[in-house]
Chains A and B, each alone.
Chain A
Amino acid sequence: MSRKNLLVEANALRWEIGDNLHDTIMESIYADASKIASRALIKNEEENSFVIDRVIDRLITSRWLGFPLMFLMLAIVFWITIVGANYPSGFLAWLLVDLGQPFLKETAMSIGFPAWLSGLIFDGAYLAMAWVIAVMLPPMAIFFPMFTLLEDFGYLPRVAFNLDNLFRKAGAHGKQALSMTMGFGCNAAGIISTRIIDSPRERLIAIITNNFSLCNGRWPTQILIATIFIGAAAPAHLAGLLSAGAVVFIALLGIVFSLLVSWGLSRSVLKGEASTFSLELPPYRPPRIMQTLYTSLIDRTIFVLWRAIVFAIPAGVVIWLTANIDIAGVSIAEHFISWSNPFGLLLGLNGVILLAYIIAIPANEIVIPTILMLTVLVTGMSGLGEGTGVMFELDSISDTSGILAAGGWTMLTGINLMLFSLLHNPCSTTIYTIYKETGSIKWTAVSTLLPVVMGVVVCFFVAQLWYLFS
């Protein structure tokens, strides 16, 4: 019998057997499995096994305690991340920016670099990279291992289990809860983690909405602006609480947007019913701390950081160039700012912020330094910063506040910057990751533009209502 006939025969048999082949095969495999297992199990006291697991499960999935415990856990993780990252971040900034940058620049000068070249390399490329490392590395190195520990312990599957109801109503997958939480660390990592969702429709929803999770690069912006504008407006003893509350509010707003957009997508472009959720809840296992530290550092932190650096370096060059190339005696940056300022004001923002968000696409971490640099540039303040086109940050919040006030910032600018920081295009690392994961230009464009459009709309209405009532 020839090979071809074999295929013909197989095809004919397929028609004869009908739809039940897979069902029947699985049934007989499991029948054997269950027979073999029962012969091999000498002792299987169901009542006495996994007692601790059941106690923990009952607690963390309970009707009353489930959600509060979850938020508490999340809050602790963020608190440790933010507080813990402060010191190493400060140290890295001191090392790379305060110490490293002038040193490199002087060395370059001494071996005869032309000023423009050393400006381009050290004020532009190097500084952007240094900032990304200083701001990004410590929180990620803290957040990801903690996240991985919770994952390895077996807690995260229970989070998905608890939250699935919300996501089901939004037409999304329960595991989106996890990619969303992961997004709080870094959107690029969050998008990679959507691989655990096997339905293509729901995976796409998870990818598109991941940007609504406030990532580590945006937390510092939120905290700084909230402290300057929200905290300052409150009585001193309430300032800290109120500004923290504002940041949490923005983060929660992000979750609400994430669910709303999921809901909207699953009723329009990505139409469909919420499909399956068949999740195995693994037994709790004591996580192995050292192993986790090592692997999450290698797998996630370094991976994401590397991508960010690759994108930040050209951005640094562009930032420096826009501030240093003059057309008709005025730098490109100033041209753009004065041109886009009216539009910025319409949104309750300003030209500086718009330009900063455009040229700082590669990494959200450099938005604030870029804003400060540009503000000084346009206001023509002297004695501040490090020179034209050089990004900088200030140690004291009151100094920063002073610069921003001089740049014409108001409470509205602060609020809208916080909103816009939540609702704008993902950073280029994330955009690239979306493209890699979806393989589609169309969906990459949707994920990129949707949040910007939403940001513009939200900021516009907030600003106009503000103008109306003030």
Chain B
Amino acid sequence: MSVQKVDHNCADCPIHNTGNLKKLGIDMTDHDYVVALAGNPNTGKSTVFNSLTGLRQHTGNWPGKTVTRAEGAFSYNDSKFKIVDLPGTYSLLSTSTDEEVARDFILFGQPDVTVIVVDATRLERNLNLVLQVLEITDRAIVCLNLIDEASRNNIEIDTRTLSKDLGVPVIATAARTNVGMQELISKIEEVSSGKYICKPHRVTGNSRKIDKAINDLSDKIHKEFPNLPNPKWVALRLLEGDQKIIDALKNGDLGDLKSNYEMIQSVREERKETIDVA
């Protein structure tokens, strides 16, 4: 690929990186990273997808519109990103096919980063999905979309507080007019390459009895699969009778999920070393 090398000092200033972005449409050969795109219906998720890939997927106002997942690609800073548009869902805990597709992809597809598109005008409702995704994966970015619409309607959001509370990067965007997309792309690269380490917020405070059950079970899962990044989520899904998790536990696929985790770990170690050196 003939993408220019950038001056390393400027890797973090997004505005200068426009030249490094190449929209690859549906050319998805040999990608380096997989990006999953999750979000509620009506959040402009498809617009974000289109803006990233240069494709024109239909944006609809209905849940269930993206029936199968759409895929596209873009390249940035010499890395190729495959991007998977998951069905728009309100939750990942119910039984509909849409949610199953999204849930299973985030868990078993092991994307290098999951971008959660959030409607800035309906933040509280959208955070439900964000918190659920953060239970599954520790590499996520919140794309606070429709920020223009929010400010038009006198809603203002402090992205730094939000990012601190959620433990993942929060990027304000208006995908329709390409506002914030560059920043989003550079954050995608940072998180997926391990330059940025997320410390996702995990929900606590269920009833005592349920907490105890989940903790007991997740401790045991942790013993059996010590490398699993999210034993609590797996415990919860077992208690909800999720057959995919039951099967994965039986045939040991859950154990394989570690490879990815180990990769992050090694990146973390590396970073630690570099920091130590510095």
Partner of A28, one of B57, B206, B246: B206
Q: Are B207 and A50 in contact (CB under 8 A)?
A: no
Q: Are B61 and A21 in contact (CB under 8 A)?
A: no
Task: Give the distance in Å from the alpha carbon of A202 to the alpha carbon of B63 in the complex.
Answer: 16
Q: Are B128 and A29 in contact (CB under 8 A)?
A: yes
Q: Mark A141-161, 1 if CB is under 8 A from B, else 0.
A: 000000010011010110000
Kindly name the residue among A2, A151, A280 whose own CB sees the greatest number of chain B CB atoms within 10 A: A280
Partner of A13, one of B65, B176, B207, B213: B213
CB of B254, distance to nearest CB on chain A (Å) = 9
CB of A341, distance to nearest CB on chain B (Å) = 47
Q: Are B155 and A44 in contact (CB under 8 A)?
A: yes
Task: Give the distance in Å from the alpha carbon of A43 to the alpha carbon of B165 in the complex.
Answer: 18
Q: Which of B56-97 contact A (CB under 8 A)?
A: 56-65, 67, 91, 93, 96
Q: Are B209 and A17 in contact (CB under 8 A)?
A: yes
Given A6-B224, A26-B93: A42 and B157 within 8 A (CB)?
yes
Q: Are A25 and B206 in contact (CB under 8 A)?
A: yes
Q: Which of B151-183 contact A (CB under 8 A)?
A: 153-159, 161-162, 165-166, 176
Partner of B220, one of A4, A6, A17: A6
Q: Are B246 and A7 in contact (CB under 8 A)?
A: yes
Task: Give the distance in Å from the alpha carbon of A299 to the alpha carbon of B56 in the complex.
Answer: 10
Stretch at the interface among B29-37, B108-116, B119-127, B263-271: B119-127
Q: Are B207 and A151 in contact (CB under 8 A)?
A: no
Contacts of A43 in B (CB 8 A): 154-156
CB of A157, distance to nearest CB on chain B (Å) = 6
Contacts of A296 in B (CB 8 A): 58
The verdict on A307 contacting chain B, using a C-beta distance below 8 Å, is: no
Q: Are B149 and A291 in contact (CB under 8 A)?
A: no
Q: Are B239 and A21 in contact (CB under 8 A)?
A: yes
CB of B199, distance to nearest CB on chain A (Å) = 14
CB of B182, distance to nearest CB on chain A (Å) = 21
Q: Are A49 and B128 in contact (CB under 8 A)?
A: no
Kindly name the residue among B154, B216, B241, B249 whose own CB sees the greatest number of chain A CB atoms within 10 A: B154
Q: Are A10 and B217 in contact (CB under 8 A)?
A: yes
Task: Give the distance in Å from the alpha carbon of A372 to the alpha carbon of B232 in the complex.
Answer: 71
A-side interface mostly = helix
Q: Are A299 and B58 in contact (CB under 8 A)?
A: yes
Contacts of A157 in B (CB 8 A): 61
Contacts of B210 in A (CB 8 A): 17, 20-21, 24-25
Given A1-B223, A49-B155, A198-B96: A32 and B131 within 8 A (CB)?
yes
Please name the residue on chain A nearest to B94 by beta carbon.
A22
Partner of B132, one of A2, A29, A195, A291: A29
Task: Give the distance in Å from the alpha carbon of A43 to the alpha carbon of B132 in the complex.
Answer: 26
Contacts of B236 in A (CB 8 A): 25
Category for how many chain B residues contact A: 35 or more
Partner of B165, one of A2, A39, A49: A39
Q: Are B157 and A16 in contact (CB under 8 A)?
A: no
Task: Give the distance in Å from the alpha carbon of A48 to the alpha carbon of B155 in the complex.
Answer: 9
The verdict on B20 contacting chain A, using a C-beta distance below 8 Å, is: no
Given A9-B217, A282-B42, A295-B56: A36 and B238 within 8 A (CB)?
no
Q: Mark B239-276, 1 if CB is under 8 A from A, else 0.
A: 11100001001101000000000000000000000000
The verdict on A294 contacting chain B, using a C-beta distance below 8 Å, is: yes
Kindly name the residue among A10, A152, A285, A288 whose own CB sees the greatest number of chain B CB atoms within 10 A: A10
Task: Give the distance in Å from the alpha carbon of A42 to the alpha carbon of B147 in the complex.
Answer: 13
Given A21-B210, A40-B157: A13 and B217 within 8 A (CB)?
yes
Task: Give the distance in Å from the alpha carbon of A137 to the alpha carbon of B162 in the complex.
Answer: 49
The verdict on B106 contacting chain A, using a C-beta distance below 8 Å, is: no
Contacts of A49 in B (CB 8 A): 121, 153-155
Q: Are B158 and A40 in contact (CB under 8 A)?
A: yes
Contacts of A4 in B (CB 8 A): 250
Please name the residue on chain B nearest to A150 by beta carbon.
B61
Task: Give the distance in Å from the alpha carbon of A4 to the alpha carbon of B210 in the complex.
Answer: 22
The verdict on B201 contacting chain A, using a C-beta distance below 8 Å, is: yes
The verdict on B203 contacting chain A, using a C-beta distance below 8 Å, is: yes
Q: Are A196 and B250 in contact (CB under 8 A)?
A: no
Contacts of A16 in B (CB 8 A): 209, 213
The verdict on B9 contacting chain A, using a C-beta distance below 8 Å, is: no
CB of A150, distance to nearest CB on chain B (Å) = 10
Contacts of A36 in B (CB 8 A): 127, 162, 165-166, 201
Task: Give the distance in Å from the alpha carbon of A50 to the alpha carbon of B125 in the complex.
Answer: 17
Contacts of A298 in B (CB 8 A): 56, 58
The verdict on A283 contacting chain B, using a C-beta distance below 8 Å, is: yes
Q: Are B64 and A3 in contact (CB under 8 A)?
A: no
Please name the residue on chain B nearest to A157 by beta carbon.
B61
Q: Are B61 and A154 in contact (CB under 8 A)?
A: yes
Contacts of A2 in B (CB 8 A): 224
The verdict on B39 contacting chain A, using a C-beta distance below 8 Å, is: no
CB of B37, distance to nearest CB on chain A (Å) = 17
Contacts of A148 in B (CB 8 A): 58
Given A13-B216, A22-B240, A37-B123: A29 and B203 within 8 A (CB)?
yes
Q: Are A10 and B239 in contact (CB under 8 A)?
A: yes
Q: Are A13 and B239 in contact (CB under 8 A)?
A: yes
The verdict on B2 contacting chain A, using a C-beta distance below 8 Å, is: no
Contacts of B217 in A (CB 8 A): 6, 9-10, 13
Q: Mark B203-226, 1 if CB is under 8 A from A, else 0.
A: 111110110010011001101100
Contacts of B127 in A (CB 8 A): 32-34, 36-37
Task: Give the distance in Å from the alpha carbon of A25 to the alpha carbon of B128 in the complex.
Answer: 11
Chain A residues proximal to chain B, CB less than 8 Å: 1-4, 6-7, 9-10, 13-14, 16-17, 20-22, 24-34, 36-45, 48-50, 148, 151-152, 154, 156-157, 195-196, 198, 280, 282-283, 285, 288, 291, 294-296, 298-299
List 4 A-B pairs, minimum CB-CB distance, nearest first: A33-B127, A49-B153, A43-B156, A37-B124
6 intermolecular pairs with C-beta atoms under 8 Å apart: A3-B252, A21-B210, A41-B158, A49-B153, A49-B155, A291-B56
Chain B residues proximal to chain A, CB less than 8 Å: 41-42, 56-65, 67, 91, 93, 96, 121, 123-125, 127-128, 130-132, 149, 153-159, 161-162, 165-166, 176, 201, 203-207, 209-210, 213, 216-217, 220-221, 223-224, 235-236, 238-241, 246, 249-250, 252
Seed contacts A6-B224, A6-B238, A285-B149; 19 additional CB < 8 Å A-B pairs: A6-B220, A7-B246, A10-B239, A13-B213, A13-B239, A24-B207, A28-B204, A33-B128, A39-B161, A41-B123, A41-B156, A154-B61, A196-B62, A196-B64, A198-B63, A198-B96, A280-B41, A295-B59, A298-B58
